[in-house]
Chain A
Amino acid sequence: MSTTTLDTPRDSQTTGRRDIVKPRRKGVVSGGVLTTVTWILALVFFAPVAWMVMTSFKQENVAASNPPAFFFEPTLDQYKAVISSDAGPYFLNSLIATGVSTLLVILLAIPASYALSIRPVKKTSDVLFFFISTKMLPIVAVIMPIYVISGQLRALDSIWTLVILYTAMNLPIAVWMMRSFFQEVPGEVLEAASMDGAGLIKTLRSVLIPMVTPGIAATALICVIFAWNEFFFALNLTAAKAATVPVFLMSQMTSEGLFLAQLSAASVLASLPVVLAGWLAQKQLVRGLSMGAVK
């Protein structure tokens, strides 16, 4: 061993590799066990969702059976019942509230993140601090004035009230997240563009926006998830006209008692858009939720 000390780097590396290989071979066996354990845990954790989906394909008398029925003749009756129970307007309201607020968030957040990253204002971190601090303001602390003001402006039960509130709710996360995407744009690219004499708008449109499009899409996704699932504002500020999907789901739960299968079908339909979107953009999810603090 002592004679090899001079050319250690390579040598010790190779012996090191051999050392690692050994536990890895053992690892194949325990790896199989670990994989099985992982799969079992994941399936147990996912089981409530699977059960909800299963229940939604049952008849009511099968759904509330004890012991639970694992094998049954699937039916689409519950989905038909939900779709024919005037769910349409609720979905339309949710679509407007989610779509328009997300669009507004993106339109406001792009220039703001630009001013916090690429051509930064002096007090960048103070501004960021302010944005995140608004997320810490409990919603219950502002619901009374919002309710009273909306009443005075005759804006109760209006979908546009929700649009404004959802925009405000998502804007801080969007600014944080988008700023972290903007920061990754290499400065040289923008310098080159401005040397070529491209104006601000042109630089934004032809150089920056294409580079950060994936980031914008990820940000939009996060906004969609939170806006689509929002319940508190919708519950307190809407009634018959502007109620959204979560309110519809709640009304199914309370007024119709224990129509479990139909309730499950409604839950599946209500959750589906966001679940699909989240599945497709798992990686971006982390960044959005951590407000850009994790890459």
Chain B
Amino acid sequence: MSTMTETRQRRGATGTGPGEAELRRARRRDGWSRRLPLLPALIFTIVVTQLPFLLTIWYSLRSWNLLRPDGNIFVGLQNFIDIFSDSTFRVAALNSILITLGCVAVALVLGTVFAVLLDREFLGRGIVRTLLITPFLIMPVASSMLWSVSMLNPSYGMVNWVIGLVGIEPIDFTSSAPLLSVIIALVWQWTPFMMLLILAGLQAQAKDVLEAASLDGAGWWKTFTLVTLPQLRRYMELAVLLGSIYVVNTFDQIYLMTAGGPGTASANLPFYIYQRAFLGFDIGQAAAMGVIVVIATIIIATFALRLIFRSFDDKEQA
């Protein structure tokens, strides 16, 4: 990571080029005149996002339940020890992983299929694209309702009517397969996002390479797997990374479709932390879970950010 920052710093430094010849004071003034426009946004972001997190760390070291105002005392790492023996937390963590992986993987495949189908001239292409991106624009609260009631309801849901046509008994999806229900709704919401990113990748493809492949007599499938897919890799990585950032924080669908149930069978970490904080009023425990989630996120993001910066740097060089 440090080597990456170094090279970028050097590149930034060469950008200031002519300034090096001037007096140090002029340079400092120049530096501040450059920095000044950035400061409002930077300070605002630090105050609103970083300070609360410092407080979260502080809360996580305390035993603090809003229902017991006298009980706000320092307990060190006790909250963390409790969490590691909390089986519901483990279930929620596992569900977070399953939901994120399931949703991102299926949405990526579906999105790629749609993108490939859209990447050619045909009648009504604009309309088809418009239809396909719509699920992403529907308010998540509305689409949660749409899926849990209109689509998956056992007595009058559309999905149950459709599977009834081929003779399958109605299924009470949201209680017998809660995770699957949530993933279905999420895939529906996030496929358009994947599709748009991959479509951008397809349209950025070098056309001469495709032509060369076709000259060499490569069939469609061969061209796709050997030429197109490698070129799409960056875009897919980006889609997976950004999709994961959003999907891992899923709250709306779980809150509205399954309420984490039955029991805690479909609770993910955001939902479980919400429950502990706003229904259990256990600020200390909830904060400690938040800290653990952030540490896990940092570990994963350190790898993920390398990807995003790699594609970012490549583009700058191009």
Contacts and interface: CB of A to CB of B under 8 A. Distances in A.
Interface residues of A, number: 105
A112 B37 contact: yes
Interface-centre pick from B44, B50, B238 (highest chain A CB count, 10 A): B44
B4 to A, nearest CB: 8
Given A120-B15, A131-B45, A249 B139 contact: yes
A139 B8 contact: no
A264 B248 CA distance: 27
B44 A52 contact: no
Contact of A294 (B124, B135, B214, B238): B238
Nearest to B296: A138
Contact of A41 (B42, B114, B129, B201): B114
Interface in B121-156: 122-124, 128-143, 145-147, 149-151, 155-156
B161 A67 contact: yes
Given A253-B145, A294-B235, A112 B41 contact: yes
Interface-centre pick from A123, A149, A290 (highest chain B CB count, 10 A): A290
A16 B290 CA distance: 61
B171 interface: no
Given A41-B114, A45-B132, A52 B146 contact: yes
A43 B131 contact: yes
A121 B256 contact: no
Given A228-B139, A250-B141, A52 B150 contact: yes
B59 A145 contact: yes
Contacts of A52: 142, 146, 150
A144 B34 contact: no
A219 to B, nearest CB: 13
A231 interface: yes
A271 interface: yes
A34 B122 contact: yes
Interface-centre pick from A125, A132, A249 (highest chain B CB count, 10 A): A125
Interface stretch (A190-198, A210-218, A273-281): A273-281
A64 B124 CA distance: 33
Given A145-B59, A164-B48, A171-B45, A274 B132 contact: no
Interface of A: 16, 19-20, 23, 31, 34-35, 37-39, 41-43, 45-49, 51-52, 55, 64-68, 108-109, 111-112, 114-116, 119-127, 129-149, 164-165, 167-168, 171-172, 175, 200, 225, 228-229, 231-232, 235-236, 245-246, 249-250, 253, 258, 260, 263-264, 267-268, 270-271, 274-275, 277-279, 282, 285-286, 289-291, 293-295
